[in-house]
């Protein structure tokens, strides 16, 4: 939901300093609905947070995606011609052109950052 996405973006921005977020619309009826949801999220985010959002695209809701989940197979393997598989492929193709943000920003880095900054951390005491 848009509310859940906003809450996650807010935490990432305020707690982890994330200023750029890539947004992927999932289980939408079509690209227009995905873009509409993105714009709604972007409007709310721009009012209250210093974050730049980028719309990556949308994954349509289709029967083939549901079936691939039941089969526990990626939709791009199980049903390569399905609308959702084609959307995933398009996003993957375009992702080759994206630039990585400077510095490490993954889960391990967040964990290490919290570990070093925690006042009771032996690492923080050693550094002080």
Which tens digits make up the pLDDT trace of 23-75?
A: 999 999 999 999 999 999 999 999 999 999 999 999 999 999 999 999 999 99
What would the mean pLDDT of 100-114 be, rounded to a whole number? 57
pLDDT tens profile 86-104: 999 999 998 888 766 555 5
> CA torsion angle for 82, 83, 85, 89 (degrees, to 10)?
130
pLDDT tens across 7-37, in order?
Answer: 999 999 998 889 999 999 999 999 999 999 9
Is residue 79 within 8 A of residue 85, CB to CB? The reply is yes
Cα-Cα-Cα-Cα torsion 106, 22, 1, 46, nearest 10 degrees, comes to 110
Its pTM stands at: 0.69
Checking if the pLDDT of 106 tops 60, the result is no
Q: What local confidence, expressed as pLDDT, does residue 94 receive? A: 86
- Contacts of 59 by beta carbon, 8 Å cutoff, 6+ apart: 24, 25, 26, 27, 28, 34, 65, 84, 87, 88, 91
If one counts every other C-beta atom within 10 angstroms of the C-beta of residue 41, the result is 21
Whether residue 84 has pLDDT greater than 90:
yes
């Amino acid at each position: 939901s848009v509310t859940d996405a906003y809450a996650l973006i807010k935490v990432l921005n305020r707690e982890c300093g994330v200023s750029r977020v890539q947004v992927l619309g999932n289980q939408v009826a079509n690209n227009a609905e995905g873009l509409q949801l993105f714009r709604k999220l972007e409007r709310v985010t721009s009012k209250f947070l210093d974050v730049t959002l980028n719309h990556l695209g949308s994954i349509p809701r289709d029967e083939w995606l549901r079936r691939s989940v039941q089969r526990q197979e990626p939709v791009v393997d199980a049903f390569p011609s399905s609308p959702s598989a084609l959307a995933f492929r398009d996003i993957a193709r375009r992702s080759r052109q994206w630039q990585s943000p400077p510095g490490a920003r993954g889960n391990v880095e967040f964990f290490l950052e919290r570990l070093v900054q925690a006042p009771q951390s032996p690492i923080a005491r050693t550094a002080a």
